A and B are shown apart, each in its own frame.
Chain A
Amino acid sequence: MQSKSTLAGKEQVLQRPNPLISVILWELRRLVSNYINWGIVLAFFVFCLLVIGFKHSWGRPVVDGQVGETILIVGTSALGSSYQIIEGLLLFLGILLPFVAGEAIAGDYKARVHELLMSTSLPTWGYVFGRYIASLIVSFGLALVLLVAVLVTSPILHLTLSYPAPNLALILSVWVIAIIPATILVSSLSFALGTLLPRLAFLSKIALMALWVSLFFGSDVFDHGSTWFTLWNPTSYGIVRVNVDHFLQVYQAAVQNVSDIEQRAQLSIQLQQQVPNLAPWIPSHLVLVGLGVILATVAALYFRRFRDVLG
């Protein structure tokens, strides 16, 4: 029995694979070949459908003189779409993401593969950034699942409940301005914590999840339309709060002299179809994206290939 290596001398003339590309492609291949991951994607999709099915309109109380009225913001209107995507679904995406990105490197410790990988010639930057990019791709995949769920259900709501026809451009805009930055930030933060504190990976995931949920629910306390929190809150709850408040003001002004219930409802739908102003959130969310990338870079810089205590 001999080790008849095909490598002798040939490696010099053939090009070595790019370590970053290798890490990304193989990590994605690994994730794709695990049926459990597909189950999670499917479960998240079904969950999004159920959330939309369960909650596709929001009642908001309006006081008009002595008369109290609850108006419905419907899920496929311009205003309702942002409500649906941000308040209805982003909350759950943000809860799921730490469990995806937090495992990108910490998972190798848990699986005891770390020593095998770290004793190879794979450069540290290739390993860390490769895993980061792969985890971002998976996170984007989940964000895409969320988008698909909205795109699938909106026409159904339009046809079955006579909701307004969905505004696709607006849905995509909300997805790009609210969902993508949040995805990058939460994934990057989870990745950085999982990479730098692999032994506390589970704890950091729980902490991030709790932080995310409290940011959502804390929004009701802090988001009043003119605070820094409104613009910088990564949950984008400010988009919903500011535009709903604006809508209510406009609505109250518009229905001052309208007493017919039918007419008021029609007016409400008309006003909900006004495209919300998302522009104020673009700069702050770009900064949040940049912060996410910085966090991943910090993780790469402080990642220790040498570890005193292994396994």
Chain B
Amino acid sequence: MELQITNLSKRYDDKWALRDISLRCGRGMIGLVGPNGAGKTTLMRIIATLIPPTSGSVSWDGHDTRRAGQAVREVLGYLPQEFGLYGEFSGRQFLRYLAAIKGIPNELARARVDEVIELVNLEREADRQLSTYSGGMKQRIGIAQALLNDPELLIVDEPTAGLDPAERVRFRTLLASLTGSRLIILSTHVIGDVEAVANRIVILQGGQMIADTTPDTLLERATGNVWSLTTDSMTALHIQAAHQVSAMLQQADGITLRIVSTTSPHPNAVPIAPSLEDAYLLVVGKKSISI
């Protein structure tokens, strides 16, 4: 079980969405992260055989996916970032439909649909029409359909978008339980999702791969580059303008900032242990803030 991406590039008109990406991966989970427009979805669509690359190649177990697309789709489970459902079907009917489309024998389809419904915790709502589902429930149906054929290659693009915190944790646990026997590519903006389940992180920016490492290595690199400072609001504004602030908390004695910087941002700033989000921001080098 091996996915090999070699010098992959994709251009839309005069804009490069991906440039010279090379990657080799076996079993396990890869967290694919990067800012909006980094090329994550384009990369996933190419791997899922939905769009052709401009140059370079993707191969699965040594077979070029452009020539052996059918074989790849046999073992593929794919959850797109944005997708629709047939509102006239119930959740169970829709999954039965996709089971048939995926070529799952009728004798097995019913049981398999029940299993994936249970996995995504939709037993109670499975027979309701999809048009009545909330965004989170639709997302769970999307996850369920990706798992229907017990895929060897599971590609999930922003799978936890729209899920409530409990469902997000449940889904992360589910993904973790699936990891042993397959390759999972998880694209997300939520660094916490990657931190919880991925053993490898690939960071894309501007269509280029700027990091391919493990969460631990990324954290190691960030050690000594994250600072905490409690200060007044005016100083906080100055710090925010000059440095990357990953968190800002209003407290009784002032504003506590969490700052990502390779140099000490203020004489009173104290180094603290980095989180994966800090480490990511250090690599991406973009200003971002969460309060």
Contact = CB atoms under 8 A, between A and B. Distances in A.
Interface-centre pick from B48, B69, B103, B147 (highest chain A CB count, 10 A): B103
A17 B98 contact: no
A266 to B, nearest CB: 55
Interface string B76-98: 10101011111011000100011
B178 interface: yes
B286 to A, nearest CB: 26
Interface string B36-66: 0000000001001111100000000000000
Interface residues of A, number: 42
Interface stretch (B105-113, B200-208, B241-249, B264-272): B105-113
Interface in A1-43: 1-8, 10-11, 14-17, 19, 22-23, 25-26, 29-30, 33-34
A119 B12 contact: no
A153 B84 CA distance: 43
B98 A120 contact: yes
A58 B102 CA distance: 55
A169 interface: no
Given A10-B108, A122-B103, A34 B88 contact: yes
A23 B97 CA distance: 9
A123 B101 contact: no
Nearest to B69: A305
A184 B73 CA distance: 33
A121 B103 contact: yes
A307 B108 contact: no
Given A33-B93, A310-B50, A116 B173 contact: no
Interface string A98-131: 0000000000000111011111111100000000
B82 A306 contact: no
A311 interface: yes
B177 interface: yes
A260 interface: no
B21 to A, nearest CB: 18
A14 B107 contact: yes
Contacts of A262: none
Contacts of B49: 119, 305-306
A30 B86 contact: yes
A10 B108 CA distance: 8
Nearest to A124: B70
A306 B50 contact: yes
B119 interface: yes
B104 interface: yes
B170 interface: yes
Interface in B169-199: 170, 173-174, 177-178
B82 A121 contact: no
Contacts of B84: 111-113
Contacts of B52: 306, 308
B150 interface: yes
A122 B177 contact: no
Contact of B108 (A7, A115, A116): A7
Interface-centre pick from A5, A22, A111 (highest chain B CB count, 10 A): A5
A26 B107 CA distance: 16
Interface-centre pick from B82, B105, B142 (highest chain A CB count, 10 A): B105
B210 interface: no
B149 interface: yes
Interface string B142-171: 100101011000000000000000000010
Nearest to B45: A310
A17 B88 contact: no
Contact of A117 (B51, B101, B103): B101
Contacts of B112: 5-7
B289 interface: no
B51 A308 contact: yes
B277 interface: no
Contact of A17 (B70, B83, B93, B100): B100
A115 B50 contact: yes
A16 B103 contact: yes
Given A3-B150, A112-B84, A310-B45, A123 B70 contact: yes
B150 A7 contact: yes
B130 to A, nearest CB: 11
B217 to A, nearest CB: 29
Nearest to A108: B84
B12 A308 contact: yes
B220 interface: no
A112 B83 contact: yes
B82 A112 contact: yes
23 contacts: A3-B119, A10-B105, A11-B108, A16-B103, A22-B100, A25-B100, A30-B88, A30-B97, A33-B89, A111-B85, A115-B80, A118-B50, A119-B48, A119-B50, A120-B98, A121-B76, A121-B103, A122-B102, A305-B69, A306-B52, A307-B51, A308-B52, A309-B12
Given A6-B112, A117-B101, A119-B50, 12 more contacts: A1-B173, A8-B150, A11-B105, A17-B104, A111-B85, A115-B83, A119-B48, A119-B78, A120-B103, A122-B102, A306-B50, A310-B50
Interface of B: 12, 45, 48-52, 69-70, 73-74, 76, 78, 80, 82-86, 88-89, 93, 97-98, 100-108, 111-112, 115, 119, 142, 145, 147, 149-150, 170, 173-174, 177-178
